[in-house]
Amino acid sequence: MDIDCDGSDNMAGKCSDDPSGQAQTSFKTTAKSYGVPDLNSSIHSYVVFGNEGGSPSFDPVKSGLEPLSVMAVVCDEKLFYGVWGDKNEGTYIGEASISLAKACFPDQIITGNTGYLGHDILYLGFTGKDAAPGQKGADWNAQSFSDFETSLSSIGDRLVATVSASPSQKPDFGSGSISSSGPVSSSNSDSDTKSGQERIGSWNGVCFSVLFTIFGIFDI
């Protein structure tokens, strides 16, 4: 997991040593319409998804993802929610805001220039407009990572529940969701207050579900 410090206060705190930090994210204009100057890497949990200017390149919009839509991140046996908040150049993948990285790996040294070197993180995006919280569906003016990430729980829980545990199920990209005969696990009434560690217990089938779904797509 590489570290992204782009956006508001891009040199604050542990981001001060970021050699490639930029003062804005790819979706600054949309963020401003939601009442904030831009995403803040130290507060907003976001994922850098898609790349341009390299070969191969990938534009998530062409696959049906909406800017600032909810994404799920499974890391260190925890499940967190973030938004698709930035794009990359070249062919790099696996980058996230510093607040999300620190939540995933609280015992690791995480700075703007020091990320997590493992290859055991799952990033899961969801197609369709229902995955985008819009101005009122998330606490964009949150003052902490916990407050912002928790505000995504309602949408995130619903989206993760659409992931099928059956290898015969395949995503229905036309409807903007992954087809499923039922949720992986039922949502608890107190899901909005769960931490990433507690939440993974509620969705303990998600990793296998995603792998089965991928195998189903490509008939592996």
pLDDT confidence of 15, banded at 50, 70, 90?
Answer: very high
Name the residue with higher pLDDT: 199 or 88. 88
Angstrom CA distances, 179 to 36, 63, 97, 174, stand at 34, 16, 30, 10
Which whole number is the average pLDDT over 69-92?
A: 93
Q: Give which of 27, 40, 175, 18 is closest to 87, Cα–Cα.
A: 27
Question: What pLDDT, on the 0 to 100 scale, is given for residue 109?
Answer: 96
Average pLDDT for the chain: 81
Find the range with the poorest average confidence among 16-25, 77-86, 153-162. Answer: 16-25
pLDDT at 195 over 50: yes
Which pLDDT score, from 0 to 100, does residue 61 have? 95
Residues 6+ apart with CB under 8 A from 20: none
Contact of 134 with 48, CB cutoff 8 Å: no
How is residue 218 annotated by DSSP?
H
Written as six digits, the tokens of 210 are 């995603």
User: Beta strands of the chain (E only): which ranges?
Assistant: 2-4, 46-52, 70-75, 78-89, 95-97, 122-125, 171-172, 177-178
**CA-based torsion, 9, 22, 115, 87: positive or negative:** positive
